[in-house]
Amino acid sequence: MADITLRPSRSARAMDRFIDGIEWLAAAFVGLVALDIFASVMLRYLFSVSIPDSYDFGKLLLGILIFWGIAATSYRGSHITVDLVWSAMGPRGKRIIDVFATLVLLFVVTVQTVMLFDKVRLTMRDNVLTYDLNIPTWPFALIAWLGDVSAVLLIAIRTYRLIFHPQQFAVPPAEKAVE
């Protein structure tokens, strides 16, 4: 008997690498925020020294983290959900709900992305600076906006795959616990 394994297409593998890259980037921003907070607290309490603009950097990095986190969770569908109605539906009803919910999410995040671009443009135009070092803040807003753009791309990919390749999101049957 021949072992037949279905391999994803080259474009599907490239898309999966793109998705994994976005998730790794989001994880890197989590690490940066944690490092900033840890270093600030340790320097403040052990040496009575503060990092210039530490509060501003923490705030800006947290904004970046939020938008890249949205990108990371949007594709996998690993964000908080309420599945009361969904769990009562059959496979066709679940698929309809999934596609509808993903389309609503795509619309909302697209509008958010447009509005955030306006924030980036205004921050750049108004030359908003950090308090201590007078560093322009618009590059941080731009990086956050790129995370939001990534979220739109990933949600669009998820929508496409939900409609045309729903088997990629099939949930394996739950195993019963051994008592």
151 belongs to a structural domain: yes
Burial of 22 (0-12, 13-18, 19+ CB in 10 A): buried
For residue 18, is pLDDT > 90?
Answer: no
8 belongs to a structural domain: no
DSSP-assigned letter for residue 6: P
pLDDT digits (tens, 9 = 90+) for 61-73: 999 989 988 888 8
125 belongs to a structural domain: yes
Range of the domain at 18: 14-167
Burial of 73 (0-12, 13-18, 19+ CB in 10 A): middle
142 belongs to a structural domain: yes
38 belongs to a structural domain: yes
Specify the number of domains making up the chain. 1
pLDDT at 26: 84
32 belongs to a structural domain: yes
| pTM for this entry | 0.80
133 belongs to a structural domain: yes
63 belongs to a structural domain: yes
pLDDT above 70 covers a percentage of the chain that reads: 86
Could you tell me the two tokens for 24?
Answer: 């790794």
Whether residue 116 contacts residue 144, with contact meaning beta carbons closer than 8 Å, is answered with yes
pLDDT digits (tens, 9 = 90+) for 128-151: 999 999 999 999 999 999 999 999
